[in-house]
Amino acid sequence: MAVDIWVSTSVHEGLIAGWLAASGIGERVTIRRAPGYRHHPTLLRGENPPLPAKIPTLIRLLPHLLTASVIVCAEQTSLWLPRILPFLPMRFIITAHGAGSINDRVDRRRDSAYLQLLPSEFEGAEMVRCGRDPARIERSALVGGDPKEAGPEYQGLGVTLFVLGAGGPDFDFTELRAWLAWRDQQNG
């Protein structure tokens, strides 16, 4: 399966390239520069870069996205595409990773997401209360420790998507590899 990651700035490109290289999966992923890409050579690691305008970037990116079967986005702007063009063949998955507009439960763009990855049982329940289909909500959690011990506990809490931190700037993927091995054993 081909995986493309579209980035808008050199800051994001550098961070993601570093993570991919350190994880050992970089050869299976292609980083591509989105239309309107901005090069920021003077920004330090950890600084938030100025982004190109989202809607024009998204419109210019659409021809490239038409070849994808699944699009995972970390912000709601991308959900304008399936909202105004419901006939598009690809499925949009949105991740929620913090407070603010990303967790706006009544934003109708969220209705266009094929799947929503939410960080808490509370957020999932709130989305259902606001009319979202519970079958289109997955619970995610930041996990750690020994997966043989912690994994079943998280599963018991309804978590189906496991997120791991790898530190930085020198990334250690030892724990990630242990969780992937545990997952593969679970999936038999």
Say if residue 79 is exposed, middle or buried (CB neighbours under 10 Å; 0-12, 13-18, 19+): buried
Phi/psi for 144 (5° steps) reads -170, 175
Q: Is 78 helix (H, G, I), strand (E, B) or coil?
A: helix
Confidence of residue 104 (pLDDT cuts 50, 70, 90): low
Read off the pLDDT of residues 47-103 as tens digits, 9 standing for 90 and up: 889 999 989 999 999 999 998 999 988 777 888 899 999 999 999 988 876 554 445
What is the rounded average pLDDT for all residues in the chain? 84
CA atoms of 121 and 139, how far apart (whole Å): 7
What backbone phi and psi angles, to 5 degrees, belong to 13? Answer: -60, -45
The β-bridge partners of 72 are: 93
